[in-house]
Chains A and B, each alone.
Chain A
Amino acid sequence: MNALEFLVVSLGTFAALNGILVLGLNLQFGSTGILNLSYFTTVAVGAYATGVAELPPAPHGGLVQYVGGFNWPFPMAVAFGVVIACCFTFVLGGLAFLRLREDYLGLTLFSVQAGVLLIVTDYSPFLDGPRGVQGLSGPFQDQLSPTGFEVMYLGLSLVFVVATYVVIRNLDIAPLGRLFRAIREDEVAAAAVGKNSWRVKTTAFLFGGATAGLGGALVATYTGGWDPGAWQTPETLILLSAIVVGGRGRPLGALLGSVLLIEGINEAGLFIPTLGDRPDLLPALQGVATALALFAFLWWRPQGLLAERPERLPKAAVVRTVQPTR
């Protein structure tokens, strides 16, 4: 495989993996209206958990330190990552949704994201600080050639993203999906007809969190490692932009936004040569471009490119107005 083929394959894999990530946040934010600014922290939880499950125990007194180290095979490690991400999501969401109103919720989730990033980066005994967990491997990595591994992982990612899309789409058109949107549109009204908003929000949060954990696990084993550089604050913003641009609430729209925005802006940078002696300039410009796209859509078309279809109620549910008799 030459360099160009390699680029195309890896772009495709990242597109699929980003698709998984964006589907999860779309469920939490797009469908249910929870502005989860700590989404990428959940992704990181899944990635780190998978990492420490897959790696052997850290050598005593060595330079590399991390908790765990179970030496599990790939499927078990990924499953572990998803489970830990769900636990984290449950604790975070369950606590937060209990007592916090909208703006405090946004504030708290943002603080959690900032604080966890600080702790993991500065406290090395936990997850090896700035270096993170390294040396992860995907399935059959030692048996395949590098080319074979890339192609296999592309297939694996596509399978996962399609499966995730199917699950989330079915959730979306099911009564549970309607519940999510009901909470998003008017929480008080939903409570008035007897829907437990804590349960609905926590359920949406959990599904989104599981997806986040899965995405994180797959990205970490694909790239071979995971460190704080991979989950800084702007990462959630990129996903958020993809959702707003592509189509808020609609899974297909989120995927479209992900391809356009993430692949378009971020990967387009691969084709632009490094500008002079400022290697930091290009990522900064990409960040500004992403932000401007988000602002533009919020200003002119907040529902995104692929807007949500209006709800269609079955005929019998429509109340007929009674004609007044004279």
Chain B
Amino acid sequence: MNALGFGLVDASILAIAALGFTLQFGVTNYVNFAYGAFLTFGAYMALAANVEPFHLSIWPAMLIGGVCTAIFGLLLNQFFLAPFVARRRGLIFALIVTFTLSLMLGDIYIIIWGSDFKELDYSGTVAHEVGPFLWSNYDIAFMFITGVVLLAVHLLLTRTSLGRSMRAMGDDLNLARVCGIRTEAVVAATWGISAFLAGVAGVMLAIEQRTFTTTLGDNFLFLILGSVILGGIGRPAGAVIGAVVIGVAVQIGVLFIPSGLAPVLVFVALIGVMLLRPQGLMGATPRPPGQL
């Protein structure tokens, strides 16, 4: 039962991260392999706010981490990604660019911050027994934050014109343009939102793992990808469902199999999806793959 509880905490962090990933894919229609680097960026920004030199408490630091990553994502899109996609239209180019970017960012992080282990500064954790589950105060806080974030994103997508534009672009880019949606602006905003979510998730992950280095997001990216492929890429609801399934499955699975083999569970999910339902549980966005 504890495993289920821990699984839900993992799933919370995973849900935020997967949501950011899938929102960005839904609008831009190409995979951001550098998403793991965004998570790492958030953690390092929070480190600067929390430890050296600002010594803020962990919660404002988390927010700052998210905001800084959002700005980073916006700038990256404005000055690098959007121009590249405009100049070399083609899915392969976009994939190569984000893949290369992920590795280059990892190296840049090493150059700036070094490859030693860092630690965020937060006060002691207290264990609470909630029903059959055993959670720390931070675990509960994470799940609460995730709930708030999910609600906020849901309202964004359903109640705001930006959200409607994002959903429209996810369905058909050209039709959205014909309807007068300013697609470049929506893309820019989406990168900001996606990066914000990544930054927040990165800080949570850094707290949960105690210590972190420049590869924080990279190892987590595997779980994120599993969640979004399972749930249906481009589908926000799918990302959350996928995150819950993967998060819980991994925690429960390691009760039965050696912990080193945990990724096998994700593989099983991936292969199952590949063979049985390539579009994922919630189905894929209707945009054809080449339409950037």
A interface residues (Cβ-Cβ under 8 A, vs B): 33, 35, 37, 95-96, 98-104, 106-108, 110-112, 114-115, 118-119, 121-125, 129, 233-234, 237, 240-241, 244, 278, 280-281, 283-285, 287-288, 291-292, 294-295, 298-299, 302
Contacts and interface: CB of A to CB of B under 8 A. Distances in A.
B260 A237 contact: no
B93 interface: yes
B64 to A, nearest CB: 26
Interface stretch (B156-164, B180-188, B220-228): B220-228
14 contacts: A95-B271, A107-B233, A108-B270, A110-B225, A115-B266, A115-B267, A119-B264, A234-B103, A281-B111, A291-B100, A294-B96, A295-B97, A298-B93, A299-B87
B92 interface: yes
A269 to B, nearest CB: 13
Contact of B261 (A33, A107, A119, A299): A119
A119 B219 CA distance: 12
A112 B229 CA distance: 13
Nearest 4 pairs of A and B residues by beta carbon: A123-B260, A122-B260, A291-B104, A287-B107
Contacts, number: 134
A291 B104 CA distance: 6
Contact of A299 (B29, B84, B108, B263): B84
B92 to A, nearest CB: 6
A302 B87 CA distance: 11
Interface in B43-77: none
Contacts of A121: 260
Given A291-B100, A298-B88, A101 B289 contact: yes
Given A111-B229, A115-B222, A122-B259, A298 B103 contact: no
Interface in B217-264: 218-219, 221-222, 225-226, 229, 233, 258-264
A90 to B, nearest CB: 15
A240 B96 contact: yes
Q: Report which residue of A111, A281, A298, A302 has the largest number of chain B beta carbons within 10 angstroms of its beta carbon.
A: A111
Given A234-B103, A280-B114, A302-B88, 10 more contacts: A99-B274, A111-B222, A111-B270, A114-B221, A118-B219, A233-B103, A240-B96, A283-B107, A284-B108, A298-B88
A136 B33 CA distance: 35
Q: At the interface, is chain B mostly helix, strand, loop or mixed?
A: helix
B140 interface: no
Given A37-B99, A118-B219, A294-B100, A302 B260 contact: no
Interface of B: 29-31, 33, 84, 87-88, 91-93, 95-97, 99-101, 103-104, 106-108, 110-111, 114-115, 218-219, 221-222, 225-226, 229, 233, 258-264, 266-267, 270-271, 274-275, 278, 289-290
Contacts of A112: 267
Given A115-B267, A278-B114, A288-B107, A123 B258 contact: yes
Contacts of B92: 33, 35, 102
A298 B30 CA distance: 17
A156 B160 CA distance: 66
Contacts of A292: 104
B250 to A, nearest CB: 12
Q: Report which residue of A112, A129, A241, A295 has the largest number of chain B beta carbons within 10 angstroms of its beta carbon.
A: A295
B133 to A, nearest CB: 26
Nearest to A111: B225
B108 to A, nearest CB: 6
Given A95-B271, A104-B278, A114 B222 contact: yes
A103 B95 contact: yes
A231 to B, nearest CB: 14
B65 to A, nearest CB: 22
A3 B202 CA distance: 46
